[in-house]
Amino acid sequence: MFEYIVKRLLFAVPILIGVNVITFSLFFMVNTPDDMARAQLGAKQTTPEMIQSWKVENGYDKPLFFNGDASGLDKIQHTLFVQESLKLFAFDFGQSDSGRQISADIQERMGPSLAIALPTFIIGLVTNIALALLIVLFRGSRLDTITMMVAVAIMSVSGLFYIIAGQVLFSKTWHWVPISGYAEGWEGIKFLILPVLIGVFAGIGAGMRWYRSIFLEEMSKDYVRTAKAKGLTDIKVLFGHVLHNGMLPILTGVVVVIPTLFMGSLIMESFFGIPGLGSYTIDAINAQDFGIVKAMVFLGSVLYIIGLILTDISYTLFDPRVKLS
């Protein structure tokens, strides 16, 4: 397995270089360093001297991919791409174009993002699996039909609606929890109840339908018929056999998202005033802050690759027949 992981990590290097090339190309296709300087300087009158000074200080006076003025290897080395990319591979995210330390910002914002994403993920997973099992227990009944209709209805409504409706109902009308805000420690629980509830509820439709289809497929297999023939109750069959065997396809979709939970949720965090990473990249794109954009795209790619590797590893844990090589 170790050899497999090392191999996968080495494969990740060209992928990350490719991601960087695309990020650098796309960003500078839309924004010129002069535009970035104007956005960062924020002056009513921006003089050429101010722009040039800002570009030199932030390294944007260098060519993007090829330095025609340099000689030899410096033609490649003395470029914005190489100098900034190398730092990223050392996980040195440097500073944002407005001067803040990106690593410190990420560390500070990761906790609040996880505070919402992790309980939403775990409670959502357990709820969806539990409800899917319940529906499978009553498969073919009116309860199954009605629940599936409700699930489709839940899926069809925008997540934004649940957020606003939840805020209006639970906070504005019934006064149970704060509309938005965040605090660390136990005091923060009251701020998390509503976003977590909404996050779980908004995901029930899709999650329940997906897990139901997985469990139904398992239910049609021979080992289930055998178990039933042995006289096991439906509950014992479901929890004792179907759940375990259904975990493999569930893992495919679940484990891969675990590392990306750190990245937060844009809409949820914006509406609930959670100081997480959700809006960090979007805000940076709007502010034309390339320092943050490149760091966050790189980090997102790394986390996704880690998620895929973890998924492969998790297969071996749930299905001994799978060997990584």
Backbone φ, ψ for residue 101 (5° rounding): -80, 120
Segment contacting other proteins by CB under 8 A, of 62-70, 97-105, 249-257, 294-302 = 97-105
Please select the residue that binds other proteins; options are 17, 179, 308, 313, rule is CB under 8 A: 179
Between 164 and 306, CB nearer to other proteins: 164
Contact track, other proteins, 5-24, x by CB under 8 A: --------------------
- Segment 261-320, which members bind other proteins (CB under 8 A)? 270-273, 275-276, 279-280, 283, 287-288
Query: Shortest gap between Cβ of 171 and other proteins (angstroms)?
Result: 5
Segment contacting other proteins by CB under 8 A, of 7-15, 165-173, 248-256, 317-325 = 165-173
Between 181 and 240, CB nearer to other proteins: 181
| Burial label, 325 (beta-carbon count in 10 A; 0-12, 13-18, 19+) | exposed
Query: Shortest gap between Cβ of 195 and other proteins (angstroms)?
Result: 11
Q: Please choose, from the candidates 293, 310, 278, the residue with its C-alpha nearest in 3D space to the C-alpha of residue 120.
A: 278
Please select the residue that binds other proteins; options are 5, 150, 235, 322, rule is CB under 8 A: 235
# binding residues, other proteins (CB under 8 A)? 73
Instruction: Give the C-alpha separation, 259 to 167, whole Å.
Output: 28
Query: Shortest gap between Cβ of 53 and other proteins (angstroms)?
Result: 5
Establish if 109 lies at the interface with other proteins (CB under 8 A). Answer: yes
Establish if 213 lies at the interface with other proteins (CB under 8 A). Answer: no
- Segment 181-210, which members bind other proteins (CB under 8 A)? 181-182, 186-187, 189-191, 193
Write the DSSP assignment of 200-266 as a string of letters: HHHHHHHHHHHHHHHHHHHHTSHHHHHHHHTT--HHHHIIIIIHHHHHHHHHHHHGGGTGGGGG--H
Establish if 41 lies at the interface with other proteins (CB under 8 A). Answer: yes
Instruction: Give just the sign of the alpha carbon dihedral 45, 49, 52, 54.
Output: negative
Looking at residue 62, the DSSP 8-state letter turns out to be S
Which residues lie closer than 8 Å to 76 by C-beta, 6 or more apart? 65, 66, 67, 82
Backbone φ, ψ for residue 95 (5° rounding): -120, 155
Give yes or no for a contact between 196 and 120, defined as CB atoms under 8 angstroms apart: yes
